[in-house]
Chains A and B, each alone.
Chain A
Amino acid sequence: RKEVEQDPGPFNVPEGATVAFNCTYSNSASQSFFWYRQDCRKEPKLLMSVYSSGNEDGRFTAQLNRASQYISLLIRDSKLSDSATYLCVVNLGNTGGFKTIFGAGTRLFVKA
């Protein structure tokens, strides 16, 4: 089992749609969580951190469920510019050595 698993997609949605991605992680010692965005042939960039209480940034909402060990990202009112690969990232923190694990990503295509 991979340490961080994501549905690779692709998700094909029309503009204005709401789309949600899930990510599961296997290590219960995971301490911090992020969503990164990676455009085609570009480097990853931080989209948002994921807090235990859930957090929202404009059209984006991230949630964490520690009991079930999954993270979600919800995108409302999708824009063409949201087309990208969304990477789930889990940090094990400094316990026994720092370790950052990137999921393989979920591809999103938003169409006009």
Chain B
Amino acid sequence: GAGVSQSPSNKVTEKGKDVELRCDPISGHTALYWYRQRLGQGLEFLIYFQGNSAPDKSGLPSDRFSAERTGESVSTLTIQRTQQEDSAVYLCASSLTLRDTHEQYFGPGTRLTVT
């Protein structure tokens, strides 16, 4: 079946602009995660959603970052007033549930460049 998809694959934006990144999880996966990966760095957890529960936003780096998810489907990550330090690959992953033993399947990521 189809994997996790993300769009756009690449985004170049000017400093100060808002951007919206989209993630389509695997159908039937109730848990969805967003991560950020700066060049040469590890993955930085941003936020997760599980079903209809309130999302865990503890990893969001600032109030310029927000995310939404419609039911158990599409999620959008919005970055307002982008800064150059926001440049990174933003990865979305989904898993069957939030159970710690469930594998996370990653999308190909959105490469964001803030100029």
Chain A residues with a Cβ under 8 A of chain B: 31-32, 34, 42-46, 49, 87, 91-94, 97-105
Contact = CB atoms under 8 A, between A and B. Distances in A.
B110 to A, nearest CB: 11
Contact of B106 (A43, A104, A105): A43
Q: Is the interface of B mostly helix, strand, loop or mixed?
A: loop
Interface in B74-115: 91, 98-101, 103-109
B35 interface: yes
B100 A98 contact: yes
B26 to A, nearest CB: 13
Interface string B54-76: 00101000000000000000000
Contacts of A49: 101, 103
Nearest to A42: B108
26 contacts: A32-B101, A34-B103, A43-B91, A43-B106, A43-B107, A44-B43, A44-B91, A44-B106, A46-B105, A49-B101, A49-B103, A87-B42, A87-B43, A91-B101, A94-B99, A97-B56, A98-B50, A98-B56, A98-B98, A98-B100, A100-B33, A100-B45, A101-B45, A103-B42, A104-B41, A104-B42
A44 B43 CA distance: 10
Contacts of B43: 44, 87, 102
A105 B100 CA distance: 20
Given A43-B109, A103-B42, A98 B101 contact: no
Interface in B31-51: 33, 35, 41-43, 45, 48, 50
A105 B37 CA distance: 12
A99 B45 contact: yes
Contacts of B108: 42-43
Given A44-B91, A91-B100, A100-B100, 5 more contacts: A87-B42, A92-B100, A94-B99, A98-B56, A102-B35
